[in-house]
Amino acid sequence: MNLVGLCLNLLYPPRCPFCGRVLEAWEEGMCSRCQESLPWLQGAGKTVEFCKVCVSPLWYQDGVRRGMHCYKFWGGQDHARVLGLLMAQCLSDRWGEPMDCITWVPLSAGKLRRRGYDQSRLLALRVGELTGLEVVPTLEKVRETHQQSRIVAHSARRANVAGAYALRESADVEGKRVVLVDDVVTSGSTLEECAACLRMGGAEEVIGLTLARAR
Ligand SMILES: [Zn+2]
149 C-alpha vs ligand 1 centroid, how far in Å?
A: 25
Domain residue ranges in the chain: 1-37, 38-213
Percentage of residues in the chain having pLDDT higher than 90: 59
What global pTM score does this model have? 0.91
CA of 73 to the centre of ligand 1 (A): 18
CB 45, CB 52: distance < 8 Å: no
What is the rounded average pLDDT for all residues in the chain?
A: 90
pLDDT single digits (tens) 172-181: 999 999 999 9
The helix or strand, by DSSP H or E, that contains position 127, with its residue range, turns out to be helix 119-131
Cα of 79 to ligand 1 centre, how many Å?
A: 12
Per-residue pLDDT averaged across 15-29, rounded? 88
- Domain 38-213 matching CATH 3.90.550.10: the answer reads no
Ligand 1 centre and the CA of 62: distance in Å?
11
Query: pLDDT tens for residues 51-97?
Result: 999 999 999 998 898 888 777 766 566 788 899 999 999 999 999 89
Supply the pLDDT for residue 181: 98
Rounded Cα distance, 61 and 116, in Å: 26
Amino acid in position 186 = T
